[in-house]
């Protein structure tokens, strides 16, 4: 007889039985297996099966240092990039926690590994190395347990450290500079340094660098270091950082600078306040008729200095011609300042060996005559080396008496062959040395 087809409820029950544990109990009787030929296909089940829950994620295992059998695990943290004059900090720990273990720091070079230092572990196996790399670039390091390389006890993975390049750059100088104009070499330190830092100007002297001057580096890294420009010359110069360890010194590229010897005369107006000791109401010229003349001159020290003269406006061109010729001839001048700086006193100015032009005053030694200097034309030069016999038969200044003897030639003395004398005479000036009472310092139109 053909068996009856199973209903849907029976199919679900059968599926549930298939998912149950297969271990049978003593009271269970296994159902008979029907003949294969008489089993009919059950109808499709329309009821959906319940959704399965999502799978539980598998936790990622905590990595452990790879250790070669027989070697101790040791770590090396990645050091931060640093500048070549700053130490690299290496830290890590011996995983076993051993203290007082001997460790060494090594750097890989083209010729092999180079030892840079040693230390011992402290609490929990921690350690620390400090090493300053002398050159910028990428460097490879490793920490080793013990003193031998390669280690038979244990070593860290290699770490590549970037050593940055600190630079001191000097701005390209001009082709040339005029003497005594305040020449400075400028530039910048990158990166800027906190706190006060010095930079020095060096020149090449007899095959060696020597420091000439220095200046502070600004917080933004810029600097302007003065160049000694009182002596015309051509120099090979560079700038360097000062007061730092030898391994931390930065030097710029060198440059060649030229200081030219020129009189460099400058003319400007002058106010009454600037000559309040040498000018007063009733003087034959007004401040508006005077000019402030600055120019270079050679000193007795062999260096160039900046001088000043107060001159009548119509006499400026002649003074520039005279002093250009005297400068080119390197005729020495002791001092060239306004007489106002001596309180308007001709006696004090002469004692200071001053060279000057304008001073509205009476003739020294003759209170009844107005001095030619009151007009801004007359000039006195090197008053000590060229003294003056006044109308009262007194020689001025008192510290120039040794120069009354004109047969002994000394620097700064004026003679008919001296360049200032010849230049002033060519400009229409008379020299006071020809008077009955000689005035070796004085020239007037």
Distance in angstroms (rounded) separating the CA atoms of residues 153 and 131: 23
Where in the chain are the domains?
82-164, 167-260, 266-444
pLDDT band at 69 (very low <50, low <70, confident <90, very high): low
Over residues 229-241, the pLDDT tens digits come to: 999 999 999 999 9
pLDDT at 70: 64
pLDDT band at 367 (very low <50, low <70, confident <90, very high): confident
pLDDT at 96: 95
Least confident of 111-120, 194-203, 300-309, 333-342: 194-203
Say if residue 22's pLDDT is above 70.
no
DSSP sequence for 73-98: -B----PPPEETTSEEEEEEEBTT--
Over residues 163-206, the pLDDT tens digits come to: 988 899 999 999 999 999 999 999 999 988 777 889 999 999 99
Helix or strand or coil: residue 27? coil
Question: What values do phi and psi take at 242, rounded to 5?
Answer: -115, 160
Distance in angstroms (rounded) separating the CA atoms of residues 199 and 217: 6
Q: What are the distances in angstroms from CA 139 to CA 19, 75, 119, 158, 207?
A: 64, 18, 20, 10, 34
Q: At what angle do helices 419-426 and 316-328 cross, to 10 degrees?
A: 150
Distance in angstroms (rounded) separating the CA atoms of residues 39 and 56: 40
Q: Which residues of 387-411 are buried (b: 16+ CB within 10 A; e: fewer)?
A: bbbeeeeebbbeebeebeeeeeeee
Q: Are 141 and 117 in contact (CB under 8 A)?
A: no
DSSP sequence for 133-200: -SS-EEEEEEEEESSSSS-SS-BPPPEEEEEE--EEEEPPPPS-EETTS--EEEEEEES--SS-EEEE
What is the total residue count of the chain? 445
CATH class of 82-164: mainly beta
More confident residue, 1 or 438: 438
Q: What are the distances in angstroms from CA 190 to CA 174, 223, 249, 335?
A: 23, 11, 13, 44
Distance in angstroms (rounded) separating the CA atoms of residues 73 and 33: 64
Q: Are 277 and 348 in contact (CB under 8 A)?
A: no
Nearest to 300 by CA among 263, 336, 331, 328: 331
Nearest to 355 by CA among 371, 389, 332, 325: 332
pLDDT band at 17 (very low <50, low <70, confident <90, very high): very low
pLDDT band at 286 (very low <50, low <70, confident <90, very high): very high
Q: Are 213 and 228 in contact (CB under 8 A)?
A: yes
Total-model pTM? 0.69
What is the CATH code of the structural domain delimited by 167-260? 2.60.40.10
Over residues 240-253, the pLDDT tens digits come to: 999 988 877 899 99
Distance in angstroms (rounded) separating the CA atoms of residues 357 and 310: 6
pLDDT at 345: 96
Say if residue 385's pLDDT is above 70.
yes
Is there a common fold for 82-164 and 167-260?
yes
pLDDT band at 267 (very low <50, low <70, confident <90, very high): very high
The number of beta carbons lying within 10 Å of the beta carbon of residue 140 is: 13
| Residue 17 per-residue DSSP state | H
Say if residue 52's pLDDT is above 50.
no
Say if residue 18's pLDDT is above 80.
no
In DSSP terms, which residues pair with 256 in a beta bridge? 236
Say if residue 50's pLDDT is above 90.
no
Work out the percent of the chain whose per-residue pLDDT is above 70.
Answer: 84
pLDDT band at 39 (very low <50, low <70, confident <90, very high): very low
Nearest to 121 by CA among 143, 148, 149: 143
Least confident of 22-26, 276-280, 304-308: 22-26
Work out the percent of the chain whose per-residue pLDDT is above 90.
Answer: 75
Nearest to 238 by CA among 195, 208, 196: 208
Q: What are the distances in angstroms from CA 280 to CA 65, 115, 253, 284?
A: 95, 83, 57, 10
Over residues 295-321, the pLDDT tens digits come to: 999 999 999 999 999 999 999 999 999
Angle value at C-alpha 216, between 229 and 245, nearest 5 degrees: 110
Kindly tell me the sign of the dihedral angle through the C-alpha atoms of 33, 34, 37, 39. negative
């Amino acid at each position: 007889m053909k068996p009856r087809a199973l209903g849907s409820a029976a199919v679900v029950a059968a599926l549930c039985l298939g998912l149950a544990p297969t271990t049978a109990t003593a009271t269970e009787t296994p159902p008979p297996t029907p003949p294969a030929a008489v089993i009919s296909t059950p109808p499709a089940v329309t009821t959906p099966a319940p959704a399965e829950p999502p799978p539980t994620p598998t936790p990622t295992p905590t990595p452990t240092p790879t250790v070669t059998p027989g070697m101790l695990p040791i770590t090396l943290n990645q050091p931060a990039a640093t500048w070549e004059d700053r130490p690299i900090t290496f830290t890590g720990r011996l995983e076993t926690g051993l203290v007082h273990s001997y460790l060494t720091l090594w750097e890989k070079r083209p010729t092999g590994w180079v030892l840079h230092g040693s230390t011992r572990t402290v609490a929990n196996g921690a350690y620390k190395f400090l090493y300053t790399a002398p050159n910028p670039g990428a460097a490879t390091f490793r920490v080793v347990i013990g003193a031998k390389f390669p280690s038979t006890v244990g070593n860290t993975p290699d770490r590549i450290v970037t050593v940055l390049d600190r630079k001191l750059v000097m701005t390209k100088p001009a082709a040339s500079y005029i003497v005594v104009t305040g020449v400075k070499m400028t530039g910048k330190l990158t990166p800027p340094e906190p706190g006060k830092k010095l930079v020095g100007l060096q020149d090449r002297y007899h095959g060696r660098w020597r420091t000439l001057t220095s200046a502070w580096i600004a917080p933004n890294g810029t600097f302007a270091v003065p160049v000694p420009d009182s002596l015309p010359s051509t120099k090979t110069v560079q700038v360097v950082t000062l007061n730092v360890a030898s391994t931390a010194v930065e030097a710029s590229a060198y440059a060649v600078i030229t200081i030219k010897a020129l009189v460099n005369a400058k003319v400007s107006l002058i106010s009454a306040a600037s000559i309040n000791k040498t000018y007063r109401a009733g003087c034959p010229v007004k401040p508006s008729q005077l000019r402030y003349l600055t120019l270079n001159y050679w000193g007795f020290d062999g260096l160039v200095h900046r001088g000043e003269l107060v001159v009548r406006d119509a006499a400026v061109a002649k003074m520039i011609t005279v002093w250009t010729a005297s400068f080119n001839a390197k005729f020495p001048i002791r001092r060239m300042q306004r007489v106002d700086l001596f309180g308007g006193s001709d006696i004090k100015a002469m004692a200071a060996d001053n060279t000057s032009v304008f001073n509205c005053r009476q003739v020294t030694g003759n209170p009844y005559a107005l001095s030619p200097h009151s007009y801004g034309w007359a000039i006195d030069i090197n008053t000590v080396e060229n003294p003056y016999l006044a109308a009262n038969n007194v020689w001025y200044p008192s510290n120039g008496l040794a120069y009354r003897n004109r047969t002994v030639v000394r620097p700064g003395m004026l003679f008919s062959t001296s360049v200032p004398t010849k230049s002033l005479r060519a400009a229409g000036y008379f020299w006071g040395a020809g008077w009955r009472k000689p005035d070796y310092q004085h020239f007037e139109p």
